[in-house]
Amino acid sequence: MDHKLRYNFLLMLAALIWGSAFVAQSVGMDYLEPFSFNCVRSFMGSLVLLPVIWFMDRQKRKSKSAGLESAPAEGIQAVQPAAESTKVKNNKALLMGGLCCGVILTLSTSLQQIGIKYTSAGKAGFITALYILIVPLLGMLLGKKVGIRTWIGVALAVVGMYLLCIKEGFSISYGDFMVLLCALVFSLHILAVDYFSPRVDGIRLSCIQFFVCGCISAFPMLLWEQPEISQIIQAWQPLVYAGVLSSGVAYTLQIVTQKHLNPTVASLLMSLESVFAVLTGWLVLNERLSPKELLGCVLVFTAIILAQLPQKQKKKAVK
């Protein structure tokens, strides 16, 4: 139970980073076009993880060498062929996972960046968070069971998001539609991470997905946007926040923690990014919360707590 709470806390930390990153993404659009912003932030996210991977590999080599020194020579020779075969298999799964997650991440972040240009941040936050409804629906198609409490939590969270984020009449514009597509694609990313993260090293998977995202985003950037170096330098602050924290840290936390959580519960925890976006605006920018927004926050937090309550196990019939 302690481990589960720790994973929940780390995923909530990722949601906090994502929520405050909406500001960085919006500010970044003042200097760069969507694909340029995504390309640079993705490469930054990949690069910042390389020293982490190097340090972890170094620690593993030290522990391995210590173990091999104490092991008999016959045992070492017997283990080597099996270890090599497992390593090749894991590398294939890692590359496949990084490619799949990277392609999906490219689509979702690009759609979100394009949508943010044409809609308000509040509506973008609400529509993006609709993945909390899409994930269990897609999960059911893949044979994943969803309990009644989780469904109630999803319903509460959707209502809470609406009260929290929508300040004007709700209508679907071009920007809204792009962000809605982002929510659908990000739901696929959550399910892809749920599939690959238990099978491969989470930090390596995160590093590869950002590298793939950066490479794919580079093509439309060079073809249509062609940013100048001066624009990238001017946007260094939102790029560093979005690249290092939102990409490098938050998405890595998602991959590392989600393997231990149900994808629907994980999506509910990640949907707290909309709540944190409003709360950070209140704390940092002195923006006041209306009673409606406070009620929205309460409903979302209630949904998260409800989804975490243990489900009653059905007793097996005794023959």
pLDDT digits over 78-126, tens only? 555 555 666 777 889 999 999 999 999 999 999 988 888 887 666 777 7
d(CA 218, CA 231): 16
Kindly report, residue by residue over 266-298, the tens digit of the pLDDT: 888 887 877 787 776 677 656 666 788 778 778
Q: Which residue has the higher pLDDT, 209 or 153?
A: 209
Contact yes or no for 29/116 (Cβ under 8 A): yes
For residue 72, the model assigns a pLDDT of 59
The mean pLDDT of 17-21, rounded to a whole number, is 85
Select from 124, 130, 128 the least CA-distant residue to 167.
Answer: 124
For residue 8, the model assigns a pLDDT of 87
C-alpha gyration radius of the chain:
21
Residues 6+ apart with CB under 8 A from 316: none
Residue 304 has pLDDT above 80, yes or no: no
d(CA 109, CA 74): 51
Q: Sign of torsion, CA 271 272 275 279? A: negative
**Which three-class secondary structure state does DSSP give residue 142?**
coil
d(CA 67, CA 59): 13
Mean pLDDT for all residues in the chain: 81
The mean pLDDT of 133-153, rounded to a whole number, is 79
Contact yes or no for 249/17 (Cβ under 8 A): yes
The rounded percent of the chain whose pLDDT value lies above 70 is 81
Residue 38 has pLDDT above 90, yes or no: yes
Lowest mean per-residue pLDDT among 30-39, 255-264, 288-297: 288-297
Q: How confident is the model at residue 75 (pLDDT cuts 50, 70, 90)?
A: low
Contact yes or no for 264/136 (Cβ under 8 A): yes
Contact yes or no for 140/72 (Cβ under 8 A): no
Q: Which residue has the higher pLDDT, 165 or 190?
A: 190
Contact yes or no for 243/39 (Cβ under 8 A): no
Residue 318 has pLDDT above 50, yes or no: no
Q: How confident is the model at residue 316 (pLDDT cuts 50, 70, 90)?
A: very low
The rounded percent of the chain whose pLDDT value lies above 90 is 29
Residue 1 has pLDDT above 70, yes or no: no
* Residue 181 CA: distances (Å) to CA of 43, 187, 270: 24, 10, 18
Lowest mean per-residue pLDDT among 66-70, 157-161, 207-211: 66-70
d(CA 204, CA 55): 12
For residue 301, the model assigns a pLDDT of 73
Select from 133, 128, 101 the least CA-distant residue to 115.
Answer: 128
Residue 36 has pLDDT above 90, yes or no: yes
Q: Which residue has the higher pLDDT, 125 or 183?
A: 183
Q: How confident is the model at residue 2 (pLDDT cuts 50, 70, 90)?
A: low
Q: According to DSSP H, which parts of the chain are helical?
A: 2-28, 34-70, 73-118, 121-128, 131-141, 148-165, 174-196, 202-220, 229-234, 236-240, 252-258, 263-270, 272-284, 291-308
d(CA 46, CA 52): 11
The amino acid at residue 153 is G
The model's pTM is 0.80
d(CA 230, CA 155): 46
Select from 43, 47, 101 the least CA-distant residue to 254.
Answer: 101
Residues 6+ apart with CB under 8 A from 242: 21, 24, 25, 28, 37, 41
